[in-house]
Amino acid sequence: MTGLTSNELGWMLDEVLKVPQARHAILLSADGMLRAFSKDIDRDDAERLAAGLSGVQSISRSTAEFCGTPHTPWRQTLIEFAHGYVFLVAAGEGAYLAVSTGEDVDMEAVTYRMHKLVDRLGKELTSPARQDTGSPA
Protein backbone atom coordinates (compact mmCIF):
# COMPACT_ATOMS: atom_id res chain seq x y z
CA MET A 1 0.00 0.00 0.00
CA THR A 2 1.53 3.27 -1.06
CA GLY A 3 -0.28 5.34 1.56
CA LEU A 4 1.40 3.35 4.32
CA THR A 5 4.94 3.90 3.14
CA SER A 6 4.59 7.43 1.83
CA ASN A 7 1.83 8.78 4.11
CA GLU A 8 0.00 10.15 1.06
CA LEU A 9 -3.10 11.09 3.04
CA GLY A 10 -1.22 12.68 5.95
CA TRP A 11 -1.74 16.21 4.63
CA MET A 12 -5.51 15.67 4.78
CA LEU A 13 -5.28 14.74 8.47
CA ASP A 14 -3.44 17.97 9.21
CA GLU A 15 -6.63 19.85 8.28
CA VAL A 16 -8.51 18.62 11.36
CA LEU A 17 -5.69 19.90 13.56
CA LYS A 18 -6.54 23.52 12.75
CA VAL A 19 -8.90 23.47 15.74
CA PRO A 20 -7.14 25.01 18.77
CA GLN A 21 -5.98 22.30 21.21
CA ALA A 22 -6.11 19.53 18.54
CA ARG A 23 -2.82 17.61 18.76
CA HIS A 24 -2.53 14.57 16.51
CA ALA A 25 -4.55 12.61 13.97
CA ILE A 26 -4.18 9.10 12.62
CA LEU A 27 -6.09 7.01 10.11
CA LEU A 28 -6.12 3.30 10.87
CA SER A 29 -7.64 0.12 9.58
CA ALA A 30 -9.85 -2.25 11.58
CA ASP A 31 -6.93 -4.63 12.01
CA GLY A 32 -4.77 -1.89 13.55
CA MET A 33 -2.61 -1.00 10.57
CA LEU A 34 -1.60 2.64 10.23
CA ARG A 35 -2.94 4.18 7.01
CA ALA A 36 -1.88 7.83 7.53
CA PHE A 37 -0.76 10.22 10.26
CA SER A 38 -0.55 13.96 10.86
CA LYS A 39 2.74 15.85 10.73
CA ASP A 40 3.43 16.25 14.47
CA ILE A 41 3.45 12.57 15.43
CA ASP A 42 6.21 10.17 14.46
CA ARG A 43 5.51 6.96 12.59
CA ASP A 44 6.46 4.62 15.48
CA ASP A 45 4.06 6.32 17.90
CA ALA A 46 1.34 6.46 15.25
CA GLU A 47 1.72 2.73 14.51
CA ARG A 48 1.57 1.83 18.22
CA LEU A 49 -1.50 4.00 18.76
CA ALA A 50 -3.22 2.62 15.64
CA ALA A 51 -2.88 -0.89 17.06
CA GLY A 52 -4.35 0.17 20.40
CA LEU A 53 -7.18 2.20 18.90
CA SER A 54 -8.25 -0.66 16.68
CA GLY A 55 -8.97 -2.54 19.92
CA VAL A 56 -10.94 0.43 21.24
CA GLN A 57 -13.18 0.53 18.18
CA SER A 58 -13.67 -3.24 18.34
CA ILE A 59 -14.69 -3.13 22.01
CA SER A 60 -16.93 -0.12 21.36
CA ARG A 61 -18.72 -1.88 18.50
CA SER A 62 -19.20 -5.02 20.62
CA THR A 63 -21.25 -3.08 23.18
CA ALA A 64 -23.99 -1.98 20.74
CA GLU A 65 -26.71 -3.92 22.53
CA PHE A 66 -26.13 -1.69 25.58
CA CYS A 67 -27.79 1.06 23.48
CA GLY A 68 -30.82 -0.99 22.56
CA THR A 69 -30.03 -3.61 19.93
CA PRO A 70 -26.98 -5.67 19.02
CA HIS A 71 -27.12 -4.37 15.44
CA THR A 72 -26.92 -0.66 16.24
CA PRO A 73 -24.09 0.71 14.09
CA TRP A 74 -21.14 2.16 15.99
CA ARG A 75 -20.25 5.73 14.98
CA GLN A 76 -17.76 7.15 17.44
CA THR A 77 -16.05 6.78 20.79
CA LEU A 78 -14.77 9.54 23.06
CA ILE A 79 -12.09 8.79 25.63
CA GLU A 80 -11.45 11.39 28.33
CA PHE A 81 -8.16 11.77 30.17
CA ALA A 82 -7.11 14.25 32.86
CA HIS A 83 -5.53 16.54 30.26
CA GLY A 84 -7.31 15.76 27.01
CA TYR A 85 -9.46 13.57 24.82
CA VAL A 86 -9.20 11.00 22.08
CA PHE A 87 -11.98 11.05 19.48
CA LEU A 88 -12.40 7.92 17.34
CA VAL A 89 -14.87 7.81 14.44
CA ALA A 90 -15.72 5.46 11.60
CA ALA A 91 -14.09 6.69 8.39
CA GLY A 92 -15.36 4.28 5.78
CA GLU A 93 -15.37 0.54 5.29
CA GLY A 94 -12.78 -0.83 7.74
CA ALA A 95 -11.15 2.57 8.37
CA TYR A 96 -11.15 4.77 11.47
CA LEU A 97 -10.03 8.31 12.20
CA ALA A 98 -8.59 9.21 15.61
CA VAL A 99 -7.77 12.70 16.88
CA SER A 100 -6.17 13.62 20.19
CA THR A 101 -6.77 16.99 21.84
CA GLY A 102 -6.12 19.06 24.92
CA GLU A 103 -8.68 19.36 27.70
CA ASP A 104 -10.03 22.79 26.69
CA VAL A 105 -10.81 21.86 23.08
CA ASP A 106 -14.06 22.84 21.41
CA MET A 107 -15.48 19.31 21.10
CA GLU A 108 -18.13 20.32 18.61
CA ALA A 109 -15.53 21.91 16.31
CA VAL A 110 -13.34 18.80 16.43
CA THR A 111 -16.16 16.39 15.65
CA TYR A 112 -17.44 18.65 12.87
CA ARG A 113 -13.99 18.77 11.24
CA MET A 114 -13.56 15.04 11.69
CA HIS A 115 -16.83 14.26 9.95
CA LYS A 116 -16.02 16.68 7.12
CA LEU A 117 -12.64 14.98 6.77
CA VAL A 118 -14.29 11.55 6.74
CA ASP A 119 -16.43 12.72 3.84
CA ARG A 120 -13.29 13.75 1.95
CA LEU A 121 -11.38 10.63 2.94
CA GLY A 122 -14.26 8.46 1.78
CA LYS A 123 -13.61 9.54 -1.77
CA GLU A 124 -9.90 8.79 -1.43
CA LEU A 125 -10.37 5.45 0.31
CA THR A 126 -12.94 4.17 -2.19
CA SER A 127 -11.28 5.32 -5.40
CA PRO A 128 -10.31 2.34 -7.55
CA ALA A 129 -6.70 1.22 -7.68
CA ARG A 130 -4.74 2.52 -10.64
CA GLN A 131 -4.05 0.05 -13.38
CA ASP A 132 -0.70 -0.02 -15.16
CA THR A 133 -1.48 1.29 -18.62
CA GLY A 134 2.08 1.18 -19.88
CA SER A 135 3.19 -1.22 -22.57
CA PRO A 136 4.63 -4.56 -21.48
CA ALA A 137 8.42 -4.70 -21.27
Nearest residue to 100 (alpha-carbon basis) of 73, 80, 124, 116: 80
Domain at 9-97+107-124: CATH architecture:
2-Layer Sandwich (3.30)
Residue 108, class by beta-carbon neighbours within 10 Å (0-12 exposed, 13-18 middle, 19+ buried)?
exposed
Q: What is the pLDDT of residues 81-126, one digit of tens each?
A: 999 999 999 998 889 999 999 999 999 999 999 999 999 887 776 5
pLDDT at 30 over 50: yes
Nearest residue to 88 (alpha-carbon basis) of 64, 54, 62, 112: 54
Residue 3, class by beta-carbon neighbours within 10 Å (0-12 exposed, 13-18 middle, 19+ buried)?
middle
Q: What is the mean pLDDT of the chain?
A: 86
- pLDDT for 39 equals 93
